[in-house]
Structure 1
Amino acid sequence: MIDAVTARQRFAEYYGHAPAGVWSAPGRVNLIGEHTDYNEGFVFPFAIAERTWVALGGRADRVVRVATSFAPDAVEIHLDDLAPDAVSGWAAYPFGVAWALGRFGGDLSQASGVDLFITSDVPVGAGLSSSAALESAVALALDEHWGLGLDRLTLAKVGRHAENEVVGAPTGILDQSASLLSESDAAVFLDCRSLDAEVIPLHLAESHLTILVIDTKVEHAHATGGYAARRASCEAGAHALGVSSLRDLDAGDLPRAQRVLDDETFRRVRHIITENRRVLDTVRTLREQGPLAIGGLLDASHASMRDDFEITVPEIDLAVSVAQAHGAVGARMTGGGFGGSAIALVAVDLVPAVSKAVRDAFAERGYGEPVIFTEQPSAGARRDA
């Protein structure tokens, strides 16, 4: 088990002294609203129980040194040398955050160096945003240690900027917002244009529901081509239709879009338009009827990602269809796609049966065994010690 105590201990073992503090941030599940964030649309994610911890200690110089439980060697850089092209690999995440803090109002000219030790139990490559958990924990730790006083929405922007400009992944702000703004048994309804955020209670526990996460173990990476290609298609569609963002379109624009666009671009655009509507309908339905009524919207979201946006893989599609067939309220892929995880909204007493059915179906197809676990929406980033 990894927790704040573990992070403190590993920092002390590595650096030879106790840290000044420990901060953590969670991964996330996106309940609905996929690829809408960079289109200035609507998203509805929640934080999960699994977290990334960052233990921090001060230094007398201006060197930032980072060690982790998942890489053999520490890496370091002088604060004056921070730049988007100065680092690569996993170190691009923490160093990218340090650099981006200076781009969002943080004065780093007098900042002292730090030692960081990072440890995590957020699954990597599962579509649960281990990257945003790392970025958010580091951002919160450095903001407090350096006394920058940035609010959480700004820290979410910092994480997004680091991922876009330093890591090279063209993601939106969904993941960092979920990691920094979430509350227990609730999801964050985020308008990615205005960045207005509202925490919406989900009432899963009182409805005897849970989120079943099915990690297919098919790894994905946002910095590679598929994600960037979908973003480029969306931008091309918006340009051809004469709008600054697909957020400016609704279902009434689909006939014109079909006339103007080639088939592939049209289907990409249709996914974004209909997914934005599904997010709004999910929030409204939750308020009016509760979580048992949102299953059809989750199912429709998956079909759109599979057929229009074409970001699912056979393992994901199988997990979703089997969960649906064995009593899930609704199921869909979650995350950027091309691998990762599916989620199913399931009655607590059906979890064993649904889990077994999915494992059996994977074995029958010759797929690797999925990792299946339940999640309840959890609290966002915090100082732990």
Structure 2
Amino acid sequence: MMESSPTQGIIGYICGSDGLDSSGLSSSAAVGLAYLLALENANNLTISPTDNIEYDRLIENGYLGLRNGILDQSAILLSSYGCLLHMNCKTKDFKLIRPLDMGNSLKSEKQKEYQILLAFSGLKQALTNNPGYNHRVAECQEAAKILLNASGNSHMEPLLCNVEQEAYKAHKSQLEPNLAKRAEHYFSENMRVLQGLEAWASGRLEDFGKLIAASGRSSIVNYECGAEPLVQLYEILLRAPGVCGARFSGAGFRGCCLAFVEVEYAAKAAEFVRTEYMKVQPELAAQINPKTAVMICEPGDCAHII
């Protein structure tokens, strides 16, 4: 952790959000880390990414009152272009995984290239003003407490990551319906992560996209987040040409959906989403800046001082 306190302040100017603040793009983590990196640079401090991840978690947990973990911050500070970041939020271990270069092994079959499609629902509300996020965290902890007690591990911290898969299967019948759904989302999501790592590493990006879609469906059915406009946007994305997977972005209680789309269909998919969303949510769609309603994005490197 930081051994000396900053003595030099900064005068900052934030740009780039263009109406997408509080829209489910991890903006609180992004701006918190931007402040930290800028202050550290101004004071000639060298702070490790892992320490900055923890500092930003403290900002969000302590100052903002949001009971989130470290996934957003880790993605922002540890990612690398062209790689998938595999993060264990319990141990904080991570590794970067590159997809298999299919060009050499399947020369007769052209490997599809994908981009990220980002679609904004028009719903904007800071998570600190929405009790749903913190309530889901509390439900997960309650489910963990019941499962740990049932498996003879009541001494452990009530977190689902402390519950073994076998214990979950053996005692999940003791959970009331809502808690059972939250636990099912957690354990099925863990399985999708493992399957996704394998699909990505072996170059099966279409299968990777299908797992993204399954994650999105579980967020709706089991975690029960996402207002009607966001769910409609998710469904539209799955019907868009060239899209092989979509899900909510960020916490999933407002804002954006993202999709995995084939490069050659990206422009058509974007236009399809604009048109179809206007049909189901004309008032919300009319309020969105046309430049940020649907955007075709490229992955980038981690956050850093330019």
TM-score in terms of structure 2 length? 0.84
Contact 1:106 1:148 in 2 (8 A): no
Query: Would you say 1:221 and 2:115 are equivalent positions?
Result: no
What is the SS of the residue equivalent to 1:107? coil
Q: Which of 1, 4, 7 is equivalent to 1:112?
A: 7
What is the SS of the residue equivalent to 2:12? strand
Contact 1:302 1:332 in 2 (8 A): yes
Query: Would you say 1:366 and 2:272 are equivalent positions?
Result: no
Q: Which of 43, 59, 70 is equivalent to 1:162?
A: 59
Q: Which residue of 2 aligns with 1:340?
A: 255
Larger helix share, 1 or 2: 2
Q: Which of 231, 244, 266 is equivalent to 1:351?
A: 266
Query: Would you say 1:319 and 2:233 are equivalent positions?
Result: yes
1:52-71 to 2 correspondences below 5 Å = none
Shift of 1:352: 2.5
Query: Would you say 1:139 and 2:36 are equivalent positions?
Result: yes
Q: Which residue of 1 aligns with 2:297?
A: 375
Shift of 1:198: 1.3
In 1, Cα distance between equivalents of 2:281 and 2:304 = 42
- Please tell me the residue identity of whatever aligns with 2:204: G
Equivalenced residue count is 278
Change (3 A) 1:273 1:117: same
Q: Which of 77, 91, 95 is equivalent to 1:180?
A: 77
Larger strand share, 1 or 2: 1
Shift of 1:126: 1.9
In 2, Cα distance between equivalents of 1:128 and 1:202 = 25
Query: Would you say 1:269 and 2:183 are equivalent positions?
Result: yes
Query: Would you say 1:234 and 2:125 are equivalent positions?
Result: no
Contact 1:185 1:376 in 2 (8 A): no
In 1, Cα distance between equivalents of 2:122 and 2:85 = 26
Shift of 1:167: 1.4
1:64-143 to 2 correspondences below 5 Å = 104-108=1-5, 111-122=6-17, 123-143=20-40
In 2, Cα distance between equivalents of 1:331 and 1:351 = 13
In 1, Cα distance between equivalents of 2:34 and 2:278 = 37
Q: Which residue of 2 aligns with 1:171?
A: 68
What is the SS of the residue equivalent to 2:258? strand
In 1, Cα distance between equivalents of 2:119 and 2:86 = 23
Shift of 1:118: 2.9
Shift of 1:201: 2.8
Deviations 1:221-276 (A, max 9, x none): 22230100000001111111115321133554444443211100110111011111
In 1, Cα distance between equivalents of 2:251 and 2:165 = 23
Query: Would you say 1:297 and 2:235 are equivalent positions?
Result: no
Change (3 A) 1:357 1:252: farther
Ranges in structure 1 where 5+ consecutive residues have no aligned partner: 1-103
Change (3 A) 1:352 1:222: same
In 2, Cα distance between equivalents of 1:213 and 1:250 = 35
Q: Which of 69, 75, 88 is equivalent to 1:191?
A: 88
In 1, Cα distance between equivalents of 2:13 and 2:65 = 21
In 1, Cα distance between equivalents of 2:11 and 2:98 = 35
Deviations 1:64-123 (A, max 9, x none): xxxxxxxxxxxxxxxxxxxxxxxxxxxxxxxxxxxxxxxx33322xx4231321313132
In 1, Cα distance between equivalents of 2:62 and 2:3 = 17
In 1, Cα distance between equivalents of 2:13 and 2:78 = 21
TM-score in terms of structure 1 length? 0.68
Shift of 1:290: 3.2
Change (3 A) 1:212 1:112: same
What is the SS of the residue equivalent to 1:331? strand
In 2, Cα distance between equivalents of 1:262 and 1:203 = 43
Ranges in structure 2 where 5+ consecutive residues have no aligned partner: 102-110, 149-155
Shift of 1:291: 1.7
Shift of 1:219: 1.4
